[in-house]
Structure 1
Amino acid sequence: MQRPLKPCNEPGCPTLTREGYCEQHKRDKPAYDQYRKSAARRGYDSIWRKARQGYLSKHPFCVSCMKEGRRVPATVVDHIKPHKGDKKLFWDSSNWQSQCASCHSRKTAKEDGGFGNRTSNLRM
């Protein structure tokens, strides 16, 4: 079964495609992950996973959903201000918030230029 055709993710491009970008714009886009370090190299190792689990046990609901009056279990510990490799900011728990995967994906895409948004720098 093939995916349905959808407009290209390039703003203003009407070309229909089954992937994110049409052939013309796919070539213009360097793969985001091509420049990104692995999760472990960015600090998301076993020590982080233990800290993350402890934080989620104390803050079990998505802060974004709670602002909208919904109690949705959090599955992600988000860095409110992106740490961009700064270990002090990475481990500063006052810079953490609990989020559900959906809210975290939306926030990250907005910050990193995903979902057709533009960004001036890549998050490493």
Structure 2
Amino acid sequence: MARRTGWRVCSVPGCPEFTQTGRCDEHRREAEQRRGTARQRGYGQQHEQRFRPGVLRRDPVCTCPGCASCLRTGSGRCNRESLHADHWPLSRRELVAAGDDPDDPKHGRGLCGPCHSSHTASEQPGGWHQ
């Protein structure tokens, strides 16, 4: 059998499918269904109208303190435009559990796309690298 460059076996134990990402298409769809929609996870109208605009207005440039994406640039910061309002230092779940308002912009930071993905992958429960 010829070896496929960049391909590996699905990361779900026992699945024999080859993929270029962590999970095969079937297991990726199943994971997305378990995750639920943004609305089901609590990202509703207040998030869209209050949290996200407030964070991005305050932090128009990525504020990441040095994730893998930033470290590749050599500067320690990427200085790209913020596109995502990320809950920080507590996650949305942790804020809700503590009785805090998760839609208050003071609980967020602005991140660019690559830094937000890197943060989510490494630190969030169920992140891609966990």
Q: Closer, same or farther in 2 for the Cα pair 1:104/1:45, shift >3 Å?
A: same
Output the CA distance in 2 between the equivalents of 1:114 and 1:69: 22
Output the CA distance in 2 between the equivalents of 1:75 and 1:108: 14
Q: Closer, same or farther in 2 for the Cα pair 1:20/1:97, shift >3 Å?
A: same
Q: Do the aligned partners of 1:4 and 1:18 also contact (CA within 8 Å) in 2?
A: no
Output the CA distance in 2 between the equivalents of 1:32 and 1:19: 17
Q: Name the structure 2 match of 1:79.
A: 87
Is 1:7 aligned to residue 15 of structure 2? no
TM-score, scaled to structure 1:
0.64
Q: Which amino acid is 2:61 matched to? A: F
TM-score, scaled to structure 2:
0.61
Output the CA distance in 2 between the equivalents of 1:22 and 1:105: 17
Pairs aligned (count): 109
SS at match of 1:31: helix
- C-alpha RMSD of the superposition: 3.6
Q: Do the aligned partners of 1:75 and 1:99 also contact (CA within 8 Å) in 2?
A: yes
Report the identity percentage: 22
SS at match of 1:97: strand
Q: Name the structure 2 match of 1:39.
A: 38
